[in-house]
Structure 1
């Protein structure tokens, strides 16, 4: 049976290109231009995974994710967004998202994430080679780089980190760049996801939206 991927995006061009990409590797992609249309079409028996845009008119992706949980829909959720920031990423992972990919996305990165989600099995998490790779990268960090990593993923600004560690903002910039390079993280969203996956930080302890 073909694996189903539900694609939810109000941008018709992006929706069409994502569906084409998924179908080009033999997956069955089901397109939806709004969160409500997707929710109307799925239930707790639906199988596959969901590619979900964060910002959409009406019901946004995070609200769709919450509605899925309330309805008992257990499909893995991958967020795809051109507007990722730490509070959004934290909220998505806190609610159970398996990945968060920023637009414009790398096609192979998206396909790899989808395949991983489709084979998602909680019992196999510890044996996941991706997790082992993340742990190896974490082990390569120097003590000072690790000092910068934790407040960075918790949403603190460079200036706040500089004050905490009693070093200059310029030095923080340097360490921040080195942390991203050593962890092979292209974006801050990638880095947050890695530290949560490795249980280095608890998503519930990460800084949310500021007042």
Structure 2
């Protein structure tokens, strides 16, 4: 079953169903929630395996408000962008929510196309973040798989040193350096020392030995 790309959280069934129809007609896979608590229960079950989704949430809900739901979602460490739907009287509250980490807000009544565009932007950001996180995790796992000698060679490579210099510095033959270099490139999934340096530069901290 495809994981929902969009979670619609609204205690008004007419608005909830209307939003679900809109996004379903645009090719999305929405899930609907009648309030903050059932949505949070579903979110808690996904901790650590979030995937890429967007949350479209009404600011005014009962018994758990949109802001309170957002705070609990953040406390779970959920990375999903949250887009609030707000009435005219709640704009200042929505602005405060954005300053506190919400993705954006849209004032009712809104244009369907504008809403769909905002969700598309948020989903693209969520997907890019997920890809980046997965790549960083893969690189960290690859780093831990290197032998102590491979780590020494890696540290020399990313400083731009040539095989002969590395061999002299580490007291090994250039042929041995080439062997370690090939292993490092294979484990790290790169084809050059420049690519290796770029990828490791994105890891904070790099964790060099």
Whether the 8 Å contact between 2:10 and 2:16 is mirrored in structure 1 is yes
Contact preservation (8 Å) 1:76, 1:117: yes
**Conserved 8 A contact 1:2-1:27:** no
Q: Take 1:84 and 1:38, find their aligned partners in 2: how far apart are those partners?
A: 25
TM-superposed deviation, 1:89: 2.3
Distance 1:48 1:121, change over 3 A: closer
Higher deviation after alignment, 113-122 or 4-13:
113-122
Q: How does 1:37-186 map to 2 (within 5 A)?
A: 37-42=38-43, 43-44=46-47, 45-46=49-50, 47-120=52-125
Gaps of 5+ in 2: 130-209
What SS is found at the alignment partner of 1:50? strand
Q: Aligned-pair distance for 1:63?
A: 0.8
Q: 1:17 to 1:51 in 2, by over 3 A?
A: same
Cα distance in 2 between the residues matched to 1:62 and 1:49: 16
SS in 1 for 2:125: coil
TM-score (norm. length: structure 1): 0.54
1-structure distance, mates of 2:85, 2:56 = 7
State the structure with more CA Rg: 2
CA distance in 1, matches of 2:127, 2:100: 15
Equivalent position SS for 1:120: helix
Report the TM-score when normalising by structure 2: 0.55
Give the root-mean-square deviation of aligned CA atoms.
2.1
Deviations 1:114-135 (CA, angstroms, capped at 9, x unpaired): 00000116999xxxxxxxxxxx
Q: Distance in 2 between matches of 1:11 and 1:72?
A: 27
1:170 alignment partner in structure 2: none
Aligned to 1:28: 29
Q: How far did residue 87 of structure 1 move?
A: 3.0
Q: CA deviation at 1:98?
A: 1.4
Aligned equivalents of 1:14 and 1:100: distance in 2?
A: 16
1:13 to partner: Cα distance: 0.4
| Bigger RCO of structures 1 and 2 (CA < 8 A, at least 6 apart) | 1
**Aligned pairs, number:** 124
| 1:48/1:10 CA distance change after superposition, 3 Å | same
For 1:6, what is the secondary structure of its paired residue?
Answer: strand
Q: CA deviation at 1:90?
A: 2.6
